[in-house]
Structure 1
């Protein structure tokens, strides 16, 4: 028996019928998957390696008893591996409809909070739909977990990340102290890595170097206004919709970055901002600057994923210059704002707030979440995948898309995933607020073309003041 960590408890209690706290991923293949081999891979590399996938939560309905993990005495792997069928004609639109349906269905709380569906009838091969509750881990960790199921060829075994050494149970107060230290060490490691921004969209500055930065970040969070009323905000329903783009060549995005003296992530964010502008114009406005919540990984990517998984990330609030008409000026403004956020401890502060939220009464937590969520209109995630093709159960992975849940009253999520030299952009939306999510996806591609045109034109737009 192990008590649920306060940060993980926050995500459990955050769930509402209109915003399920569930991470969803879909993987598709050009050839059919071997069902028995898939089951063996999931058992070996998921269930046997990470205890959370065979544990259930107990005590989730009590006010005074903290939830805790325990081994599910009735655990059966087959109960978490199901089949689904994409209706004719079995194209991407049909797969998107299936994903959207399951995105609106909660996971069963009485057993381990995850499910895999082998999807038949899609294209020449098939697909796998994965649903995992955010309580188990954050999106970046779960992406690494899913990729640990992969092989580098049809036969060769992909070596899973080494398991950390087993340790005796740790007192709660010591876990809390260890968590605080982990946040600080994680951000220092991120600063040293200097990795490409696509690999980790935001690199944090040193949290303990300048206390004034922490004070400034607290002041900024406190003074952030609510995001303006647009067609992207409003009452949420239980129906969700998913859509994703055709793969975009990564080299195309890199070339734009070089031409515009910006990072890959700057270019992708500028395209997203322009896509939001186009969408708001098409829906009749108003066109307003919007704010995005961006998850920031606080766990060093060069360390093994702990067996107990868990959430170790914070959030930063990125102001998107949606009202800016010129693509080049929009990109420059975003680059400046990103550079400021990379040196800010804002993510660590929101991580601490999430930990506190998991300890207070549910009504207080929801009030805290609503206040934070009102400051943004969307959540944007960017997770890297392998640079070369990989295989699941002997079958080559053709593509992958994932979505993290939105919290509070946020009804739009945008995900960017890179794999084997391609970038795929996906959106998850509240069906009532955004009835046409494909327009957001297609306008993203249009904005990349607009940036390419701006990069090829002579002259340079003046930097925003």
Structure 2
């Protein structure tokens, strides 16, 4: 019918672990056969060319060290993964990342500048050697290869500057960061900048914006430098837990010898279609309206990067940690699942029609943990970029979490990350750097960039002033990237940094949707217990003994009144009123049992007040025994009631009974207690008190 939305019938949800593995087995089998067919020719090509390229590189290094030592001091060739960022993955998208540090008030600009120079730029080891040379080196191009050399005209004043005075509020700071994310960085001087603002905001905080080019180093190494050298010395030695890429790097290197050629063809040479070129994709419509130059999946060289909408948000770490324990998922999976739900909400993906999927590009860290005996951090990039699908078409937070968990497990069990790393490392000695940049740009099919950086658990300080928060914004790999999101964990906090293309939705809208997804998932799993967690009842609070005593007495009196009313009620009275009275008795008895249990566990622990609980167990058992009374009497009362109702009104009685049955079922089997209590006229109703003197 016209005018109505065609809503698809929801598909049956199947857990990934329950799906058939035949398709996965066949795919892995065909990949193995393809890898074995290409094994001999590929390695024959590598074995012949690699020794030649290594010999030429050795000759170049020796020539520069002997004959051009003064012209190119400290000559050091960049690794292929460092050099590709200098070849400009895309001309209009500078590979520049921004980090925001908020400190307590009290530091001046000159104090911060002196600390940065002494502890980071000019820091030396025990052998009096510069620890982090790249902070004073610039990039030069020699015979088609990039290298770091010392900048003879290095001036700290050009790298450590003041934030303009008109940046005095949160909104102006967001606009300023949005401009910095799209501002190119000159390569004829060291690839970093530091922007400082003191006395910012109502609390007079100190703001430090650290901007760096990706060729300088990756985020993990810079976090280690911040913790080990820049901040105040502590007794603890900071370590970052190694990710699955670094843990399995050795065994995956062996597997890459066979499988790398498969990933080279399927991921880099012939990748799937990009998010912004898929028909029905959420990114294609807006791009066509804005640019009018994207057709058949081809990019336009004249695409201009636009200013990003910036926002940051502190997430509830306690809630996220509990969700991770309850669902037995990593914190990364929980964050990605909530971000996927937020994207689904902002993109208006209601599931009414089948739409093209979207992907996210994430960095897989391949570093191993630092040694406890050294504080020197090796700078450079040691990560790879991989695409994984975001299930925005999946309805429900839990099914989305299942799919993300399944995708991550498949990624962890494969050698894709290590294979791509060695492909770039080997080809970097054979082909020009621009060819490598073209391959990396071709392999990026996602419209979103997601980063997850681990920070220290303890709070850091700079010259005695605590660092209150750290937010990170990764660079946009392509101009088609709609979103750059980063999760940075620090001091029991998890900060979400968002850089969004405002042509699609605002960063604040996405942040609010993310918070709502976390809240909805927490409410959905509120009754689930984490492994080893003791179930707590509603009444189990840390109350003083006298308050607990009064509450027990109040519930006892209310229970007595309800039991008297129920016992005096006629079997021929209205079924709805009878059911409501029965439910009231049931709830009061459950509350009484709960409070008696609390009192028994807490005897003699509050303020030296002694509680006597000798009869407590018997009292609880008597209250719970009323459930058996209900089972014996409810059938009799129900029969009397049915006989008393005329045949024409029994249909309404059946409807009321079904409603009561639904309420009983929804309460779950874990809620014992009577639904009907029959008290004889000569029977006395007992007060259940845990106190002897009552």
Whether the TM-score (by the shorter chain) exceeds 0.5 is yes
Cα shift at 1:358: 8.0
Q: Name the counterpart of 1:291.
A: 359
Larger radius of gyration: 2
Does residue 93 of structure 1 match 2:171? yes
Task: Determine the C-alpha separation between the residues in 1 that align with 2:155 and 2:271.
Answer: 47
- Contact residue 181 and residue 475 of structure 2 kept, 8 A: no
Q: Name the counterpart of 2:225.
A: 145
Cα shift at 1:159: 8.2
- Contact residue 119 and residue 128 of structure 1 kept, 8 A: yes
- Contact residue 41 and residue 149 of structure 1 kept, 8 A: no
Tell me the TM-score normalised to structure 1 length: 0.80
Does residue 53 of structure 1 match 2:135? yes
Task: Determine the C-alpha separation between the residues in 1 that align with 2:144 and 2:267.
Answer: 32
Q: Name the counterpart of 1:271.
A: 338
Aligned pair count? 417
Deviations 1:349-368 (A, max 9, x none): 22234433686346534432
- Contact residue 85 and residue 95 of structure 2 kept, 8 A: yes
Task: Determine the C-alpha separation between the residues in 2 that align with 1:231 and 1:350.
Answer: 28
Deviations 1:88-107 (A, max 9, x none): 6x332222111111222222
Q: 1:213 to 1:359 in 2, by over 3 A?
A: closer
Q: Name the counterpart of 1:240.
A: 307
Q: Name the counterpart of 1:403.
A: 473
Secondary structure class of the residue paired with 2:361: strand
Cα shift at 1:54: 0.5
- Contact residue 89 and residue 441 of structure 2 kept, 8 A: no
Which ranges in structure 2 are unaligned for 5 or more consecutive residues?
1-74, 123-130, 292-302, 529-665, 667-694
Cα shift at 1:10: 0.8
Task: Determine the C-alpha separation between the residues in 1 that align with 2:429 and 2:86.
Answer: 9
For 1:251, which of 318, 321, 339 is the aligned residue? 318
Deviations 1:116-175 (A, max 9, x none): 0102453121210111111111122122223334535xxx5688889xxxxxxxxxxxxx
Q: Name the counterpart of 1:454.
A: 524
Worse-matched range after superposition: 328-337 or 357-366? 357-366
Secondary structure class of the residue paired with 1:148: helix
- Contact residue 321 and residue 333 of structure 1 kept, 8 A: yes
Q: 1:86 to 1:101 in 2, by over 3 A?
A: farther
Secondary structure class of the residue paired with 2:275: coil
- Contact residue 379 and residue 414 of structure 1 kept, 8 A: yes
Q: 1:146 to 1:430 in 2, by over 3 A?
A: farther
Deviations 1:154-202 (A, max 9, x none): xx5688889xxxxxxxxxxxxxxxxxxxxxx9978524xxxxxxxxxxx
Deviations 1:390-443 (A, max 9, x none): 112332111111122222344221100011111111122345x44522222221
- Contact residue 312 and residue 498 of structure 2 kept, 8 A: no
More strand by share: 1
Cα shift at 1:279: 1.4
Secondary structure class of the residue paired with 1:426: strand
Task: Determine the C-alpha separation between the residues in 1 that align with 2:379 and 2:205.
Answer: 32
Cα shift at 1:272: 1.1
Task: Determine the C-alpha separation between the residues in 2 that align with 1:158 and 1:22.
Answer: 34
Task: Determine the C-alpha separation between the residues in 2 that align with 1:188 and 1:341.
Answer: 10
More helix by share: 2
Q: Name the counterpart of 1:169.
A: none
Q: Name the counterpart of 1:386.
A: 456
Does residue 190 of structure 1 match 2:260? no
